[in-house]
Chain A
């Protein structure tokens, strides 16, 4: 049987093999169980969990979300059950899916918490990769780790020493040069970079003359930020060799393709999960059709093929 017409949509992120390049972005998919009625979870390329911290975290005051033109602001504030409860209550469901599980982690007070979390996760065979969320805009910090190349380099290097698992660094767009931070991640041993996290934003209720979000400011996501994300993927692609996981306002197959052409090896669907909980499966099918229609055998053929 000759398989020449069967497009191969599998990709590699470091030593991590994905059957297809469509992942779901941290914070937009809970711990996957929430979506079981609405999509074939087993078909996803990978699942990135809601960010986990060492201790349980309550999160920010309400209102935590507000809609903006073609987008939304959120200030959830990393509400999560903490690593121990995550392992106790959430991981069993995830591991049964047979899909690579990428656990997103963050620190609350000290960067050492990243190391503590990485050591714990390194021992769990159910976990395929670790994503360092050094770019959450909702922690009321003056400066994020991902807003400084040296801090990024230092943290990634220390975590790298503790784990052989695939290590992904998630970057913030709220910087003067995202390429510098991406390079620092690469030099420190990150297997891949995820970009972009949300953009800092604010929305005001003019009648109350008050912020619409309970913690005043939040992170902007959705189609409104897509052009910024695509541009950043393209910029970074030209500066680093490790794979890019592209995200930011991907709503359908067309917008996913923009990210591949700009230089992404894989993509993550975020805000779109809230609107259509089955969108990731639809994009997986859409990409296969695009590959078949255009006689593309492997997605590697279109990563970064932007014509200029």
Chain B
């Protein structure tokens, strides 16, 4: 689906916990075309502060609305947090390839979604698209305050398991260790893993997927300048040479990546 540049109205922009924000934009053009795993590239302000757009995963869509979540930690996201409902944002999207859902219809297949920290962002959209299959969602974070979207996943019919580094909620340890433990207790031959989170987590998942002969679709993140495949700033190494996270990704099969 082709991307477009649109001027989208901000419906709401709310701080829901800690530094975490919910942003809802009005754009039928993007909402209609969006697939789970795609992103939009936002010009935060009309001036040069910051200069470049900021890419954010699409968190969910409904008719003409696009919802995003973000952590206000850098110049771009902190600037975004200052924007008010009723104002307009210059947005390009939907961008990127999105998750491939063509092989998930089999009755026996289990879809396992693994999120690290803000990695929940695109996976809620995915859980909605996969809701008939009642996916298993594993969410990991440093501590319980950083575990996001648990209710949203549950309301979509997903089973949710949690991991925290400090053990403040759920499994104590990394979400990748929780994944290993889970895989050891189930028949996972027809499973697919979908993951989004820090690079170290995705690398660990690649190894786990290879050991268990499971397919994994990973959502990658890199610094981007253009978001449309022109600047070659966000390339990653794959077995077929460098690929652009913004245009060839952000979703890659684990077996094609070179870590």
Contact = CB atoms under 8 A, between A and B. Distances in A.
A63 B222 contact: yes
Interface string A259-277: 0000000000001011111
Contact of B225 (A35, A37, A72, A251): A72
B219 interface: no
A74 B230 contact: no
B259 to A, nearest CB: 12
Contacts of B234: 62, 64-65
Interface residues of B, number: 32
B241 A74 contact: no
B51 A79 contact: no
B235 A62 contact: yes
Contacts of B159: none
A274 B231 contact: yes
A64 to B, nearest CB: 5
Interface string B233-247: 111100001100001
Contact of A79 (B4, B43, B53, B242): B242
Contact of B231 (A63, A71, A74, A251): A74
Contacts of B230: 28-30, 34-35, 273-274
A66 interface: yes
B5 A277 contact: yes
B223 interface: yes
Given A59-B242, A65-B223, A66-B223, A275 B52 contact: yes
- Max chain A C-beta neighbours (<10 A), residue from B43, B224, B228: B228
Contact of B4 (A37, A62, A271): A37
A222 interface: yes
B5 A274 contact: no
A64 B232 contact: yes
B72 to A, nearest CB: 16
A79 B232 contact: yes
A76 interface: yes
A72 B236 contact: no
A37 B95 CA distance: 12
Contacts of A222: 48, 51
- Max chain A C-beta neighbours (<10 A), residue from B5, B49, B233, B247: B233
The DSSP consensus for interface residues of chain B is loop
B231 A59 contact: no
Contacts of B48: 70, 222-223, 251
A71 B51 contact: yes
- Max chain B C-beta neighbours (<10 A), residue from A38, A66, A275, A278: A275
B241 A76 contact: no
B211 interface: no
A65 B222 CA distance: 9
B50 A67 contact: yes
A301 to B, nearest CB: 30
A74 B225 contact: yes
A64 B246 CA distance: 14
A285 B150 CA distance: 50
Contacts of B231: 27-28, 30, 65, 74, 76, 274
- Max chain B C-beta neighbours (<10 A), residue from A38, A50, A62, A271: A62
A210 interface: no
B73 to A, nearest CB: 12
Given A62-B234, A223-B48, A271-B51, 19 more contacts: A28-B231, A29-B230, A34-B229, A58-B242, A59-B232, A62-B235, A65-B225, A67-B50, A67-B51, A67-B75, A74-B225, A76-B231, A79-B242, A222-B48, A222-B51, A273-B230, A274-B226, A274-B231, A276-B43
28 contacts: A30-B230, A34-B230, A35-B228, A37-B3, A38-B5, A38-B92, A50-B232, A59-B232, A62-B236, A63-B222, A64-B233, A64-B234, A64-B235, A65-B223, A65-B233, A65-B234, A67-B51, A72-B225, A222-B48, A223-B48, A274-B53, A274-B225, A274-B227, A274-B230, A275-B43, A275-B53, A276-B5, A277-B92
Interface of B: 2-5, 43, 48-53, 75, 90, 92, 222-236, 241-242, 247
